[in-house]
Structure 1
Amino acid sequence: MSEHPADETLPHRLERILLGGTRRYTRLEVAEQAGVSQDRTRQLWRALGFASVGDDEVVFTEADIEAVRITDRLVDTGLLDRDLETSVARAVGLHMSRLAEWQSQLLWSLIADNPDLAEDEQRIGELVERLLPELERVHDFVWRRHLAAYAGRALAEPEETLEAASEVVGFVDMVGYTRMARRVDEAELSGLLERFEELATGYVAEHHGRVVKMIGDEVLFVCPSAVRAAEIALSLSEHAAADERVPEVRAGLAAGRVLSRFGDVYGSVVNLASRLTSLARPGTVLVDAALADVLAEHGDYDLRRLRPVPVRGYQRLRPATLRRAGTREVTAHDDVPGGRSPSAP
């Protein structure tokens, strides 16, 4: 006999499918059965991005108990530092919540676009029950492929500390996005963002970089190669200029030691790349002095050093414009942030 009632409502059925079982346990019971402290389960739950629950609320399943046990085993084996346990949980929660939100919207859009399906709760439940294992397989595949790529890099560059490696950091943002967002409807705005994300992620992947995050109208990426980072920025700029569906973009690149922490990047190099982007004119790419020195050795690029510019955090920032060799040289007014004339190279 099935443990699930025949008259089970759709919300309860979906919840059972998605949670991998029915809610049976309180937080205190999870801690007891998993063999961990109550404070630790509370910290992990909040770090994952879920609201606090009362000690007597029955909200957890067998899967929750097993997840806590797995985490505890990872700590015991030394793979996961106990001091970083909460930080890791927070990073996983942030990334997975965004993925879950998007997939939920995708699912309900599918249901809304199919009136016959929307009126049949039995079919909706069957659809979710059928699709969930497929989504899990895709998640697992993509995760393993990315893990293999990063593991390969670690083995190829054993002298580098992965948490603080030398990389190029790049920002590319759409010019005039804020004004455009006020003029167009939601469908047009969604299409614009989709096109920009498609271009950005495509060029970054093609040149072996990594998208750190999309920030509305802007992409933040890192790349271990100066030349490949230059190609990402220039290709995006060129494509945006030729594509009527997206506005022009501007970019800033800086090279140096970068702290990578739970998928995000930090440090002065990140700040410098951001400042350069804010200085760049539409359709241009600005690079810092260190990166300009490296790229100047390649015959494929033209670098033009500009007059030092004071910006927040940098009193004498001297950027350089990056162009492909042989492209038309712009005027001094167009070439320099704020319209100032460039100094001699």
Structure 2
Amino acid sequence: MAEDPVGQVDLPRFVELIEQELLGGERKYTREEMVERVGGDIETARSRWRSLGFATTNDDERLYTDADVQANRDVYELQDVAGIDDDVMLAMTRIIGQTFARLASWQGQVVTDRVANDPELLAGGAEGVSELIGSIMPIVERLHDYVWRRQLSAYFARVAANAQSGEGIGTEVAMAVGFVDMAGFTTFTRQSSEADLRNVLTRFESMATDVVGTNNGQIVKTIGDEILFTVDRAADAAQIALTMVETAESDDVLPQVRAGVAYGPIVSRLGDVFGQPVNIASRLTSVARTGSVLVDQGIHDKVDDDESLRLHPLRPVNVRGYQHLKSWRLRRTPS
């Protein structure tokens, strides 16, 4: 077996350098000492640490840096300026932690793969690898800031559009909701290498992003081998689901997918969506056959007169939370 090139690096020294670069200095404060500098109480500090997705630690462990102190001050300032209560702030930190944990895993993997595939980068040892990460960081930070600002701008544009249609902020909004998942993914996982698995997930997410964006939708979240999307128009939701099924079928790498789509009033909160259509779309996906799209009564009523689509009624099913749930299989009309 070939020697792991990353293993040639002095890893303790590497971690030390990375922490200095990423954490804004050395770990020098206990939780109690940080709270003394920031204010608040120690239980709130514990809760926020856990909500960010970090492991529980002892209060007397020297874990925190000057950057941690400043970040906690910023949280309190944000609460004061925006009028955010503790429960909402905890939910926000939980979402931020989950989002950035995934980003960090992906970006860390990119750097690790680069180092593993280019042994020359190891010539400088731990310092050389640390220097590489230090050169990448400012670029990534600018991209994070750019995407966040663009997404926030798009959010306010949607709020304004809803207000113009008579729907207030925080109220239920009628939308289409869809789930698309890769059928047989558990079996595929057992039979595939880590590299193959990463390739398929990346390809699936890339395809979903392209298809959903092209048809005016928005990906709410990715849950392993499944995506959840929303879109204003039922017709666009139908196109998204059908196109994803067709694209996966014609792709030699991707497993086939299945989809469930529903239409009705939903509530958006802290980057997620809730409501009966979300539940129905999830249930329909779970009973859909591989390569098929199932839709509910709401989608049926919106696209029934679309001559480019065909709707085949199915026998009502009993699923968790719903008895005799009606559904239709959605297809394109043959040309």
Does residue 254 of the first structure (1) align with residue 254 of the second (2)? no
| Distance in 2 of aligned mates of 1:296 and 1:133 | 51
Deviation at 1:132, TM superposition (A): 1.0
Classify the secondary structure of the residue corresponding to 1:77. helix
Does residue 74 of the first structure (1) align with residue 82 of the second (2)? no
| Distance in 2 of aligned mates of 1:61 and 1:180 | 43
Deviation at 1:292, TM superposition (A): 0.4
Classify the secondary structure of the residue corresponding to 2:82. coil
Aligned residues of 1:214 and 1:220 also touching (Cα < 8 A): yes
Deviation at 1:161, TM superposition (A): 3.7
Please show how residues 199-214 of structure 1 align to structure 2 within 5 Å: 199-214=207-222
Aligned to 1:310: 318
Classify the secondary structure of the residue corresponding to 1:277. helix
- The root-mean-square deviation of aligned C-alpha atoms, in Å, is 2.0
Deviation at 1:18, TM superposition (A): 0.5
1:130 is aligned, of 129, 135, 144, to 135
Over the matched positions of the two proteins, sequence identity in percent amounts to 43
| Distance in 1 of aligned mates of 2:168 and 2:193 | 47
Q: Larger RCO: Structure 1 or Structure 2 (Cα < 8 Å, ≥ 6 residues apart)?
A: 2
Deviations 1:261-319 (A, max 9, x none): 33233333222111211222222211001110011133332222233223332221111
Amino acid at match of 2:119: P
Aligned to 2:13: 9
| Distance in 2 of aligned mates of 1:112 and 1:298 | 53
Aligned residues of 1:154 and 1:162 also touching (Cα < 8 A): no
Aligned residues of 1:256 and 1:269 also touching (Cα < 8 A): yes
Larger radius of gyration: 1
| Distance in 2 of aligned mates of 1:242 and 1:48 | 40
Residue ranges of structure 1 left out of the alignment (5+ in a row): 1-7, 328-345
Does residue 236 of the first structure (1) align with residue 244 of the second (2)? yes
Aligned to 2:161: 156
Deviation at 1:79, TM superposition (A): 4.2
Residue ranges of structure 2 left out of the alignment (5+ in a row): 1-11
| Distance in 2 of aligned mates of 1:82 and 1:52 | 20
Alignment TM-score, normalising by the size of structure 2: 0.89
Classify the secondary structure of the residue corresponding to 1:321. strand
Aligned to 1:185: 193
> Structure 1 residues 322 and 160 mapped into 2: Cα distance closer, same or farther (>3 Å)?
farther
| Distance in 1 of aligned mates of 2:61 and 2:190 | 44
Does residue 112 of the first structure (1) align with residue 116 of the second (2)? yes
Deviation at 1:162, TM superposition (A): 4.1
Amino acid at match of 1:304: H
Does residue 279 of the first structure (1) align with residue 284 of the second (2)? no
| Distance in 1 of aligned mates of 2:162 and 2:232 | 11
| Distance in 1 of aligned mates of 2:272 and 2:50 | 20
Aligned to 1:65: 69
Classify the secondary structure of the residue corresponding to 1:168. strand
| Higher mean C-alpha displacement, 86-95 vs 154-163 | 154-163
Amino acid at match of 2:296: D
> Structure 1 residues 178 and 125 mapped into 2: Cα distance closer, same or farther (>3 Å)?
closer
How many residues in Structure 1 have an aligned counterpart in Structure 2?
320
Aligned to 1:147: 152
> Structure 1 residues 46 and 163 mapped into 2: Cα distance closer, same or farther (>3 Å)?
farther
Aligned residues of 1:163 and 1:261 also touching (Cα < 8 A): no
Deviation at 1:136, TM superposition (A): 0.6
Deviations 1:147-179 (A, max 9, x none): 111111011112244464322111112223333
Aligned residues of 1:203 and 1:236 also touching (Cα < 8 A): yes
Aligned to 2:8: none
Does residue 321 of the first structure (1) align with residue 329 of the second (2)? yes
Aligned to 2:226: 218
Please show how residues 167-186 of structure 1 align to structure 2 within 5 Å: 167-186=175-194
Amino acid at match of 1:243: D
Amino acid at match of 1:87: A
Does residue 195 of the first structure (1) align with residue 217 of the second (2)? no
Alignment TM-score, normalising by the size of structure 1: 0.86
| Distance in 1 of aligned mates of 2:277 and 2:169 | 16
Deviations 1:190-225 (A, max 9, x none): 222222221112111222222222233222212222
1:86 is aligned, of 90, 103, 123, to 90
Deviation at 1:59, TM superposition (A): 1.5
> Structure 1 residues 134 and 238 mapped into 2: Cα distance closer, same or farther (>3 Å)?
same
Deviation at 1:139, TM superposition (A): 0.6
Classify the secondary structure of the residue corresponding to 1:144. helix
> Structure 1 residues 301 and 41 mapped into 2: Cα distance closer, same or farther (>3 Å)?
same
Amino acid at match of 1:263: G
Does residue 101 of the first structure (1) align with residue 105 of the second (2)? yes
